[in-house]
Amino acid sequence: MYKLIVLIPLAAGLSGCGAAAACCRIVSAGLKVIPLVGHVAAAPTDACAAAID
């Protein structure tokens, strides 16, 4: 029983990483739409999302 009391907040805290990285992923997707330079311009935002995850 006590293990669940510890594990539930821990799991909830770790799942928030995806929400924190969402802004980086949204900006990255928007930049990738730009022809020719989109993927290059999105590299820093992809790194941001990878670092958060």
- Matching residue, tokens 């290059």: 40
User: Mean pLDDT of all residues in the chain?
Assistant: 80
Q: How far apart are CA 5 and CA 1, in angstroms?
A: 7
Which structural domain range is residue 15 located in? Answer: 2-52
35 band by pLDDT with thresholds 50, 70 and 90? very high
Q: How far apart are CA 21 and CA 9, in angstroms?
A: 20
pLDDT of amino acid 14: 58
User: What is the average per-residue pLDDT within 2-19?
Assistant: 64
Domains of the chain: total: 1
Q: Are 4 and 14 in contact (CB under 8 A)?
A: no
24 band by pLDDT with thresholds 50, 70 and 90? confident
Closest of 17, 46, 49, 50 to residue 31, by C-alpha: 46
The pTM score is: 0.63
pLDDT of 46 higher than 80? yes
